[in-house]
Amino acid sequence: MNIRTCTAAFALLAGSALLACGGGGDSEQSYERFTQSQETTLDGDWEMQLQFVVARDVTAWQSFWQQRQATIDCTRDYNQPACSAAEPPVVDFARFTVVGGFAGNSCTFENPDDPVHVFSESNPSQLVVDVGWKCASGLGFGGPRANIFVLVHKTELPIVVR
The per-residue pLDDT for range 31-74, each reduced to its tens digit, is: 999 999 998 888 887 765 567 889 999 999 999 999 888 888 89
Is 17 among the domain residues? no
Taking residues 82-88, what's their average pLDDT?
Answer: 91
**Which DSSP string corresponds to 21-48?**
TTTTS-EEE-EEEPPHHHHHHH-S---S
Among 19-23, 24-28, 143-147, name the most confident range: 24-28
The answer to whether 124 and 83 are in contact (CB under 8 A) is: no
Is 95 within a domain? yes
Whether residue 5 is contained in a domain is answered as: no
- pTM beyond 0.85: the answer is no
Phi, psi values for residue 28, rounded to 5°: -65, 140
Tell me phi and psi for residue 123, to 5 degrees: -140, 100
Query: Which of 15-19, 71-75, 138-142, 144-148 is predicted least confidently?
Result: 15-19
| Residues spanned by the domain of 68 | 22-161
Res 11 pLDDT > 60: no
Domains in the chain, number: 1
- Model confidence band, residue 145 (pLDDT cutoffs 50, 70, 90): low
Q: Does residue 26 sit within a domain?
A: yes
Give the model's confidence band at 13: pLDDT under 50 very low, under 70 low, under 90 confident, else very high: very low
Distance (Å, whole) CA 41 – CA 154: 23
